Amino acid sequence: MLDNYVPCVRLLGQVMRRPPIRKQLAVASYVGATVWFLASCLLSLAERWNPNDEQQRERFASPLAAAPFVLVHLTGDYPLIDYTVPAKAVHFCMIALMS
């Protein structure tokens, strides 16, 4: 039904029916989600006890609270730049893994 309005949906469906592409997409999604989860945990550990900035402590109080900020950082945008040295090391690893 949506096919009539958006022809690209049909093309996307045809692409997703191909097993090699579906497998590659599944692997890429798994790797991306794993890096996101690990980076959220590591940044939460690194910034949870930031002595200088109470807002940073609140933003990274738990891995779940850190996840939206980490997702923004994984896209290459850095609206927050005041981090502790361990958090900067985590950011360096995130950039290296996602490049």
Question: Which two three-digit tokens encode residue 17?
Answer: 């029916």
What 8-state DSSP symbol labels residue 3? G
Instruction: Name the amino acid, one letter, at 27.
Output: V
d(CA 78, CA 91): 10
**Phi-psi label, residue 76: left if phi above 0, alpha if psi -120 to 50, beta otherwise:** left
**What domains sit in the chain, N to C, each tagged with a CATH number?**
2-98 (1.10.287)
Query: Does residue 42 contact residue 34 with C-beta atoms inside 8 Å?
Result: no
Question: Mind listing the pLDDT tens digit of every residue in the chain (99 residues)?
Answer: 666 767 777 888 888 888 888 899 899 999 999 999 999 999 999 988 888 888 888 889 999 999 999 999 988 888 888 888 999 999 999 888 877
How many residues does this entry show for the chain?
99
